[in-house]
Amino acid sequence: MPVAVGFLVNPIAGMGGSVGLKGTDGRLYIEAVRRGAAPVAPSRALRFLKHLRQVGFDHSLLVAGGVMGCRYLGQTPSLKYECLSHPPESQKETSSIDTKAVVKMMLERGIDLLVFVGGDGTARDVVEVLDCEVPVLGIPSGVKMYSGIFAASPEAAAELVTMFCEGNTVLDYADVADIDENSLQAGELKVRKFFRAITVRADGLSVQSKDFGASGSSEEKYALAEYFIEEYLYDNILYLLGPGSTIKAITDVLGLPKTILGVDALFNRSIVAKDLGYREILDLLNSFAQARIVVTIIGGQGYLFGRGNQQFTPEVIRRVGRNNILVLATKTKLRGLKYLLVDTGDPVLDAELSGYVRVITGYREEMMMRVVPASDPTLLTR
């Protein structure tokens, strides 16, 4: 039986991540462009469509016009699709108003599933209009993706859409969440749940909502930080400290400030640069002989790179080197995870990062965890 799948792209989603912004909503898009950010969503959309073609997808796509969809279908022949009239091909910039208008048009046409490329901000716009009328699936392209309606990667999304059309997925309710901007301005990280949505799931291919209670207690984080400082913090090495409260525990113990959702640079127990974008990181790497990246994971999801720390671009990661990546996570945060995920936007680098990594989990406590590229659905489902 034919299944109608709606497809739309937020073309600016995720642009702010690499340049140190916490999103790309509203005026942040202008700032992202000023800082030299490059589009992320188009390549994610093309990866999804190409994999959809590879798996033999044979249903109809109802696609948003221009930069919100049809432009990418023209680069992936053999897929069946119909373009909506909105937005017109001549329109170069889009907003949440366009997203909501497209979703409304798709509902009126009777779609069975809506697939979008974007982040939590796009998810809120989409689900506000859908209101649980049809299932929704997100292709991750945002700076932050705390909501539970996203696939693990564009390739995983293509697998899920095909399985849905064949009746081989389950439907489930999931939270649509986003950062509370007011608390962020006060230097706190709080996430609000805005909506509930119906989404499609299959083991390994879909991602749960961020587990907001899984980061561990303050005592766990400080014990972990003290061990890191004693055993892994050396003089004359530049440490690039990633986002999150787990990493912030290091600077708390040292009595130093930390950008909660940003990347800060630590050298000889002093903060030498704050809230860095990828360009500033590359400049620093030119000035220091040795450098290490220090990151944690997304609780409940297991992402090591590609979620909330896009300042660590593929170029940055390659410059620092796989052997100079240090991972910190409490045992509470690791609980229930089969593996860690990497989704840098570069599938070749994701494969290079796969294997096993040492994770510092507490005071003089470490464990080995397997790293899996999110772009490889065969590994996700093993």
Cβ contacts of 34 within 8 Å, gap of 6 or more: none
Low-confidence ranges of the chain (pLDDT < 50): none
Tell me the longest C-alpha to C-alpha distance in the chain.
Answer: 65
Looking at residue 52, its pLDDT comes to 96
Which residue's entry shows tokens 């994971």? Answer: 297
Please state, in angstroms and rounded to a whole number, the distance separating the CA atoms of residues 204 and 378: 9
Fold held by 218-380: Rossmann fold (3.40.50)
Which residue's entry shows tokens 């907001």? Answer: 212
Please state, in angstroms and rounded to a whole number, the distance separating the CA atoms of residues 350 and 291: 20
Q: Which residue type occupies 372?
A: V
Which has the closest alpha carbon to 113: 1, 5, 2?
A: 5
Looking at residue 10, its pLDDT comes to 95
- Give the chain's end-to-end CA distance (angstroms, integer): 29
CA 178 to chain centre: 12
Assess contact for 116 and 140: CB atoms under 8 A.
no
Please state, in angstroms and rounded to a whole number, the distance separating the CA atoms of residues 296 and 305: 9
Cβ contacts of 370 within 8 Å, gap of 6 or more: 338, 339, 340, 354, 355, 356
Arch. (CATH architecture) of 4-201: 3-Layer(aba) Sandwich (3.40)
Burial group, residue 92, by CB count within 10 angstroms (0-12, 13-18, 19+): exposed
Please state, in angstroms and rounded to a whole number, the distance separating the CA atoms of residues 198 and 175: 9
Assess contact for 373 and 235: CB atoms under 8 A.
no
Please state, in angstroms and rounded to a whole number, the distance separating the CA atoms of residues 173 and 175: 7
Assess contact for 290 and 236: CB atoms under 8 A.
yes
Looking at residue 365, its pLDDT comes to 95
Looking at residue 280, its pLDDT comes to 96
Supply the DSSP symbol for 169.
S
DSSP H helices in the chain: 28-34, 41-54, 70-73, 96-108, 120-130, 154-165, 181-185, 218-231, 245-254, 278-285, 314-320, 331-334, 347-353, 377-380
Looking at residue 37, its pLDDT comes to 64
3-state secondary structure of 12: coil
The predicted model scores a pTM of 0.91
Q: H or E element: which one contains 305?
A: strand 303-305
3-state secondary structure of 191: strand
Assess contact for 151 and 137: CB atoms under 8 A.
yes
The residues pairing with 305 across neighbouring beta strands, listed in sequence order, are 342
Every domain of the chain and the residues it spans: 4-201, 218-380
Please determine whether the domains at 4-201 and 218-380 fall in the same fold group of CATH. Answer: yes
Please state, in angstroms and rounded to a whole number, the distance separating the CA atoms of residues 212 and 333: 10
- Whether the CA torsion 295, 297, 302, 307 is positive or negative: it is negative
Which has the closest alpha carbon to 174: 136, 121, 122?
A: 136
- For residue range 223-282, list pLDDT tens digits in order: 999 999 999 999 999 999 999 999 999 999 999 999 988 999 999 999 999 999 999 999
- For residue range 194-214, list pLDDT tens digits in order: 899 999 999 999 988 766 666
Looking at residue 43, its pLDDT comes to 94
